[in-house]
Each structure stands twice: as C-alpha cells, then as structure tokens.
Chain A
Amino acid sequence: MSDGGRESGTDNQTSSKKSKVSGGDEFGRAIAKIAVTQICGSTGFHSSHPSALDALADVAIRYISDLGKAANFYANLSGRTSSNVFDVIQGLEDLGLSQGFSGASDIHRCLASSGVVREIGQFVNTAEEVPFAWPVPRFPIARIPKQTSSFAQIGEAPAGNHIPNWLPAFPDPHTYIHTPVWNERATDLRTDKIEQARQRRKAERSLLSLQQRLACNATAEFMPAIDGDAGKGKEIVTNNPFLAPPLPYGEKEVSEIVMPKVDADEKKLSVLETFAPAIEAAKNGSLTSLISEERVLPSERPMVHFKFGIHSKSIVAPLSSKAQNAKTDSWFLRDDEKDDKKRRAEMILKEAMENPQELAQL
C-alpha cells in the first residue's frame, strides 16, 4: 500500500509539526502508524490520507490502553494485582458491548466460551498473517542515572572526621564560589593608534603609486612593470612616459575595460580587494587573470580611470583636471558606455578612503 493520495503539503507539514509538539510518545505513535497502515493495506486500501492514518493509529493506541485499563480493573476487583485471561476477556466484552457479541445476554455464561473469544478465534483463522514490517526494539529504554561518586571513590579525604567516606563527595568549589573574571587581553590604546596610523600610511602609499600610473596612462603608452608588492607599486619604464606623444585613436587596440564585479550597495569594500586582480595580473605579466564573469582583458593595457579623493586635496585637483582633459581626448570616445562603471568604482574607492576602518584590512 502506498501513501499516494496525499493532501496538500501544508497538511503534511502541520501533521509533522504536531508530532513534534506532542511529546515523548513519538516512537510508539510512529510504530502504531506503521502497523495500522499495514492493516489498512491488507484490508484493501491502495492509499490513504496521512491525517486519517494518524487518527486511526491514535484509535488503536486508545483501544489497547482501554483494554489494559479494563483488565487491570477487573483484576483489582478480584483482589489481584496481575491480570489473567479472564480479566482480559471481561475487558474485551466491555469494549465490544457497543457492537455486541453472541452470548452477551446469557446469565450464566462462562467466560471461557465467551463470544468475543470465538470471534477472535474466527478472525485468527480467516485473516492472513501480516507480521510487522520492521523489528521493534524494547522501548522505552531505561537509562541508569549517573551516580554521584563518594569520597572513597574519588579518593578524597572528607572535610571532617564526622563525615564518613562512603557519602557522596562535595561538589567542586568553583561551582559555588564566585571568583572575579578578568579580561586577559591587554588593550593598549597607544599601540592600537600606532597600528592604525601605519595602515593608513600604507594605503596612502598604494594610492599614490596608482595615481602615478594613471598619470602615465593619460599621456603615454603604459608599460606595466610593477613589482609584486601591493604597497610600493614602483614603475620601471624604459622611456620617459611623460614626454611621449599620445597615440591617435585606432592605432593601438585598446582593451575592453573590466571592472571587478562590485556591489554598489556594499560599503565595506577594501581598496586592496578592488585592486588585487590588477596587481595579481601585473605580477603575472599578463592581464588575462583579471576577474570578469563575461569579459577578459586581452591586452596588456589596463585603462583604469579613477577619481578618488584623499586628505591632501592637491593631488586630487590635477588628476581631475587631467581626467577632464582626457575626456576630450578621442581615446575615450569608445569608453562612454563604461563610464558609469568607472564612476561607480571611483565612488567606492572614495568611500573606502573615507572610512578609516577599511584601511585596517590593508
């Protein structure tokens, strides 16, 4: 029999939630549900609603409990504590009275030949035997509680002569004596401030080197030969880039700009993270390793155009003017559609610089 015809999923969920709420009898109920499902299957049902199975399992459990209660009652009535077969038969008669059984109205009937027993006998003979599907362990499992050890078992001498050593030991002193707790980590404000200033200086240095690179970009052919350290970023160029004439548009294939995928809402973007791919690629000598979900920078020329502000405004001003000059340059006509991405990256940089905490990540 399969549980094919189910109600909607919510009903299933509520029934499972109910079973979690009901308490410690879940195992017994689950076993009863399986047994009832097997009985329904042997009766002829193909499938069932889970709530109907739950209800029928509950009815079965109640039937067994009521039968036990009735049998116990009859045993106690006869002055016994353990029940025997006649108590059970009387209990069965009590429960079956609504249905009726043969011989119920006999005054002098004998319990041994009671109608219920005969009916059960007929049931056993006619019904096919369907044993339970799974092996069931004895339940509930009784757990032995952990005994508190005595003085002798621990090996501790009792506090006084008046305490014998077979008594349970006293609990540890830390459970009832309050000792003050100190924070072990020493917070030295001075070293923290020094560390912060150092990291800020590192950030400023790396940005300065970037600006220098951008200055080269704007006027000359850029030859990226940066040594690996992110903080230093020194350029070793063969010719003076400031004196070389600008290339006309179309002479040199300008690569597509790849911006690292930055989330504009994300405030916590460290400067190093933004430039990590560029630095990594420069280290490797090729810029194909720049992160890009769609596009990869094919050539060796990163056209990065940033606007960022730092504390000293004097550095900002010439760069922005250079940027405006560069905008009129024909080179940048192609990159109009990428301007907003650049602007976004610049904005993030600015925010990163404004937040001194971000510098701690450098």
Chain B
Amino acid sequence: MNSSSGEGRHDDDSALAEFLASLMDYTPTIPDELVEHYLSRSGFHCPDLRLTRLVAVAAQKFISEVASDALQHCKARQAAPVKDKSKQPKDKRLVLTMEDLSKALREYGVNLKHQEYFADSPSTGMEPSSREE
C-alpha cells in the first residue's frame, strides 16, 4: 500500500515536473513581466520562472474560457432572429459586447454592470413641467 502510493506520488511528481518543464517551451500570451509585476504587488515572491509561467498560463486559460463563453452568447444572439432581408448571421462580424461579457462572467462569479448611457444632468430628458427650476 505504501509502496504503491509512493510510486503514485513519484509519477505525480514527475508528471508535474515534466509539465513545468514543458511550460518553458510554451510562450503564454500574457507577458512574463506583466505577471511578475502584479504578483509582486500582491505579495507573491518566487524567483522561479516556471511558477510565473504557470500563473500566466492559468490566467490565459481563464480569459480564453470567458471569451469563448461570450462568443457562444454572441453566436446564440445572432442565430435566434433569422432575417433574410438585411443581415445574414454567417457574414456578420462577431463583436465582443459588454452584454455578452457580463453574461459570461456571471458564471465565474464576476458581476459586471455597464452603464447604458450617460446623461448630462439628473433632469435630462424629463418633461419641462416636472423639472425643478
């Protein structure tokens, strides 16, 4: 029992070590300097570059998951109303909007609210009779 678990741990350790080594070949989209800056700001201290790469890859994975969820929302929105006259869903450009992003982020626990529009004053657009002079 102990020996099998010991061997299992060996495999896990070696797998982890291999994975970390493979990280050095992969260049994440988020640059290392940026990750190091924000990690040092939050108190993380490690001179090992592989850990920095691990954090960078993890962040990239997170963002790409959010982006792909937003893409699904965007495609679902385009597919629903099928109009043959004006726009064709296949050719329409995929635009990342705040709406899709907030829907995608809600599943990850991030509540994102976006102002619809900004008005000049609290009484903009109201009827002149109801405005306080």
Contacts and interface: CB of A to CB of B under 8 A. Distances in A.
A binds B: yes
A126 to B, nearest CB: 10
A59 B95 contact: no
Contacts, number: 199
A217 to B, nearest CB: 62
Top-10 shortest CB links A-B: A68-B44, A48-B96, A68-B42, A112-B12, A68-B39, A43-B67, A5-B95, A113-B12, A72-B43, A46-B93
A251 B23 CA distance: 101
Given A40-B67, A52-B96, A123-B57, A98 B16 contact: no
B92 to A, nearest CB: 9
A84 interface: yes
Interface of A: 4-5, 10, 14, 28, 31-32, 35-36, 38-40, 42-49, 51-53, 55-56, 59-61, 63-69, 71-72, 81-85, 88, 92, 98-99, 110, 112-113, 116-117, 119-121, 123-124, 127, 129-132, 136-140
Contacts of B119: none
B41 interface: yes
Contacts of B57: 120, 123-124
A113 B38 CA distance: 27
Interface string B64-91: 1011101100100000000000000000
A43 B42 CA distance: 29
Given A31-B34, A38-B29, A124-B57, A55 B112 contact: yes
B63 A39 contact: yes
A60 B46 contact: no
A49 B97 contact: yes
Interface in B21-69: 22-23, 26-35, 37-48, 50-51, 54-55, 57-64, 66-68
Contacts of B46: 82-84
Contacts of A81: 45
B22 A45 contact: no
B95 A45 contact: yes
Contacts of A52: 96-98, 100-101
B31 A117 contact: no
A69 B64 contact: no
23 contacts: A4-B93, A31-B33, A32-B30, A35-B34, A39-B63, A39-B67, A46-B93, A46-B94, A55-B112, A56-B63, A56-B66, A60-B63, A63-B63, A65-B38, A67-B39, A68-B43, A69-B44, A72-B43, A85-B54, A117-B16, A120-B19, A123-B57, A131-B28
A35 B95 contact: no
Contacts of B109: 98
Contacts of A82: 45-47
